[in-house]
Structure 1
Amino acid sequence: MWTSLAVGLAALVAPSQAGLRFGCSTLSIQRLDPIVQPGINPSTHVHQIIGGNMFNASVDPTIDVGNAASCTTCVFAEDFSNYWTATLYFKHRNGTYKRVKQYPNADLVNGVQGGMTVYYTQQDFNSNGNQKITAFKPGFRMTVGKPTTNTKDQAVKNTGIRYTCLQTIMTRGAETPDFPTKPCPAGIMAIHHFPACWDGKNLDSADHQSHMYDTGKGGFQVAGPCPSSHPVRMPQVALETMWNTTEFNDKSLWPTDGSQPFYWSTDDDTGYSSHADYLFGWKGDSLQKAMDSSCMFDACGNGNPLKTQNAAQMNACKIKTFVDEPVDGWLPQLPGAPSFIKA
């Protein structure tokens, strides 16, 4: 996510070799979390998931997902990774909840259904830099943010997790650590930047974060050098989710006190609990080939060096629903009725 509109415009006109930017359609929306709550069906709260069809309540870390999966909702056909975040809900002043739909980012393959935009950048939005970027390994997984984050001070420190109140689909900048407090003309974009420095040893850790180290400065700025404890520079993975909140811009639907009405599926109406999960699943050495190239965004497809697929192929990839419960329509409570710990 650009840190300002000016930076964003500069990125569009400057010679750019920033790596990958691609869309992925929604794979599933249900209460499963194979990283934080493996084997638990259902997990605590609803997630919106993109990527490969190996996603399940539990994904064995010894399995090479890139070789085991058979389809993906992502435009790059060799990316069978899974990416997921909490799901956004609107709370009506009468106390019922309705899931907010996602819509695709600009300049992506036509026909993408919901989902997210995924980035793998190397230095910043304009340059690959001159560092060796090491691709993730089979079995690798990580998270960013925590569903238990409950204060603004904590949220501010998570520089890679922000929101933008979209004036148009192309709006960039004006990022906040909490939900916008006024209706947004084009919806709300949720932004997640994962850390990019690896300890070089562990594919995961007990908290799913300690094996990584974040030297990011927010947005697509050039990150600081990796420390000796985490010396291996990996791709900077980032997610953008465009939540179409425009259906709910009528203030007569909002709480009578005028407070903002959106909730993460964790039962958080502050926005502080925003978090995301990543489970690596690129096939073979395809991601390393991309990181070793100088291609830019769509130019990395069509065999240069990555294989691409069309929207119909992306949208055809599905998994079964493992949790038999409604997640759409007007609901009397959030699925699972999670209890977010407020400050």
Structure 2
Amino acid sequence: MKVSKQLLVGLWASGKAAAFFIMPCSKPVVVERADPIVNPGALSGHVHTIMGGNGFDFSMTYEQARAATCSTCKVTADLSNYWTPTLYYQGQDGKFTSVSQSGGMLAYYLFRQDAKDPEYSKGLIAYPKGFRMLAGDPKLRSYNNTLEQRAISYVCLGNSGPATSELPNRNCPNGLRLQIIFPACWDGVNLDSPDHKSHMAYPDRLDNGKCPTTHPKRFITLFYEVIFSVNDFKDKWYGDKQPFVLSNGDPTGYGLHGDFVNGWDVNVLQAAITQCTDNGGSIEKCPVFQFFDDETRRNCQVPIKVDEQVQGQFDKLPGCNSIQRGPGNAVAESGCGATTQISAPKWGYKDVTSTLKYKYLGCGRDPAGQTRTLQGAKTSGDSMTVDTCIKYCDGKGFQYAGLEYAKECWCGNSVADDRKPKKGLWGACDMPCGGSKTEMCGGWAAMSLYQKCNGTCTNAELM
């Protein structure tokens, strides 16, 4: 994902090239109806695309966030979570199809102050332990010229035209970019508030200007960019209105919102404020940061805990979210038959400890272009299942069975240490088996590994 030219222009227009850094998050850590800020301990009303640490859960404390073993975002000191609504396409038949998210997220950390800030001399401060906030209002279905509403915008990439406050009524060849500016002025007391906003305020010029005296302390300005691949539907437009809706049943786009739960090592973030001085946003030029490698970020996931379909095609949006076009605020709905229960985690493997006496080891590596992780027998087929593969390998006398690319089965008697699953990393074994969509058969360069039991037969603890 490229740096926003609009953002850079805004920096220059502010009168000084203030330092900033860009936090790249490579992909979602999970996509489901969860929001521990607004709906702690329960299902969210709508689906969110969630980035960041694998400490994410339906209820979470700062300590839980910091206990994450990985993140889809780059800096090891940042185990925060960042999320927005998911985008769907609504067809002429009324059915909904999930729109692929492209390139993860860019979270900009902008070092902006104003000499008229009430506590200007104290400088910018890091988010404290336990801090969380929300920007935007999911109920909105019309535009009002408030700072909060001006903080929400859309950019149609590959198609000329300015940013819009609503979902643009034109195709975006290079993707639709959702943009959210968070408030930067803090009351200095509350880590959260009943509406998850009142403890924060915007400067008087949105992302520049001075903080109000009610919110005298100044944080870094946080800014999200998330891109969805709307060009996949370029030949499926109909009528005179754009066909996309946010997961909260919003076809206007005015109800876009973003959430942030702090998982930073506070001392590292505070050090970054003084030592990350690059005015081009390069995170690699910040001397206080260390980084997760690309493979760790790619393999970092949280198991799904909601028994409902959120990807693919379906008759109605997940949760109770009928399309509400406004212009009045959307009204919360219930009683539509959508699940309200948090389920047991879906770990993405089949338990065959009792039936076949094999245990799941986790998702191992099988890098493309290198020696295969399992070098014994091999079979493949469009009807592949976990049972099929294990029975094949067991019948040939092998100790290990591995599934990959949805339909491949590999056998062997050993797994090199650098190919074994890593504890704390769920891995990228996310391709449904060709013969059973409820089972996972590895992924791209990722292998679902099972081992024959000798004695006690227990699946690996993945997290």
Bin for the TM-score computed over the shorter chain: 0.7 to 0.9
CA deviations on 1:254-282 (whole Å, 9 max, x unpaired) are 23x22110000011100011000000001
Q: Alignment identity in percent?
A: 36
Residues 59, 200 of structure 1: CA spacing in aligned structure 2 closer, same or farther, 3 A cutoff? same
Instruction: Tell me the equivalent position of 1:305.
Output: 288
Q: Distance in 2 between matches of 1:275 and 1:299?
A: 26
Instruction: Tell me the equivalent position of 1:241.
Output: 226
Q: Distance in 1 between matches of 2:293 and 2:277?
A: 20
1:263 to 216, 235, 245: 245
Post-superposition offset of 1:157: 5.5
CA deviations on 1:82-101 (whole Å, 9 max, x unpaired) are 01000000111121111111
Q: What does 1:56-71 align with in structure 2 at a 5 Å threshold?
A: 56-60=57-61, 63-65=62-64, 67-71=66-70
Q: Distance in 2 between matches of 1:308 and 1:56?
A: 23
Q: Distance in 1 between matches of 2:171 and 2:100?
A: 16
2:44 equivalent to 1:39: no
Instruction: Tell me the equivalent position of 1:111.
Output: none
Match of 2:66, SS state, is helix
Instruction: Tell me the equivalent position of 1:112.
Output: none
2:169 to 171, 177, 181: 181
Q: Distance in 2 between matches of 1:37 and 1:103?
A: 27
2:303 equivalent to 1:320: yes
CA deviations on 1:270-306 (whole Å, 9 max, x unpaired) are 0011000000001241111111214336654477111
Post-superposition offset of 1:244: 0.9
Post-superposition offset of 1:2: 6.1
Q: Distance in 2 between matches of 1:66 and 1:97?
A: 33
Instruction: Tell me the equivalent position of 2:79.
Output: 80
| Contact 1:203 1:211 (C-alpha < 8 Å) held by counterparts | yes
Report the residue type matching 2:31 in the other structure: I
Q: Greater relative contact order (Cα 8 A, min sep 6): structure 1 or 2?
A: 1
2:289 equivalent to 1:288: no
Instruction: Tell me the equivalent position of 2:201.
Output: 213
**TM-score, normalization by structure 2:** 0.63
Instruction: Tell me the equivalent position of 1:89.
Output: 88
2:109 equivalent to 1:120: yes
Q: Distance in 2 between matches of 1:246 and 1:155?
A: 31
Q: Distance in 1 between matches of 2:248 and 2:297?
A: 28
1:141 to 132, 145, 170: 132
Instruction: Tell me the equivalent position of 2:368.
Output: none
Instruction: Tell me the equivalent position of 1:333.
Output: 316
Q: Distance in 2 between matches of 1:140 and 1:5?
A: 25
| Contact 1:66 1:283 (C-alpha < 8 Å) held by counterparts | no
Report the residue type matching 1:69 in the other structure: A
Report the residue type matching 1:182 in the other structure: R
> Which segments of 5 or more consecutive residues in structure 2 lack a partner in the other structure?
114-119, 328-463
Q: Distance in 2 between matches of 1:298 and 1:156?
A: 25
Post-superposition offset of 1:184: 1.4
Q: Which moved more, 1:291-300 or 1:139-148?
A: 291-300
Q: Distance in 2 between matches of 1:29 and 1:294?
A: 32
| Contact 1:155 1:177 (C-alpha < 8 Å) held by counterparts | no
Report the residue type matching 2:19 in the other structure: A
**TM-score, normalization by structure 1:** 0.84
| Contact 2:19 2:281 (C-alpha < 8 Å) held by counterparts | no
How many pairs align? 315
Report the residue type matching 2:295 in the other structure: A
Residues 154, 335 of structure 1: CA spacing in aligned structure 2 closer, same or farther, 3 A cutoff? farther
Instruction: Tell me the equivalent position of 1:109.
Output: none
Match of 1:254, SS state, is coil
Q: Distance in 2 between matches of 1:130 and 1:294?
A: 19
Post-superposition offset of 1:44: 0.9
Q: Distance in 2 between matches of 1:23 and 1:123?
A: 20
Match of 2:272, SS state, is helix
| Contact 1:91 1:263 (C-alpha < 8 Å) held by counterparts | yes
Match of 1:83, SS state, is strand
| Contact 2:18 2:112 (C-alpha < 8 Å) held by counterparts | no
Q: Distance in 1 between matches of 2:150 and 2:16?
A: 27
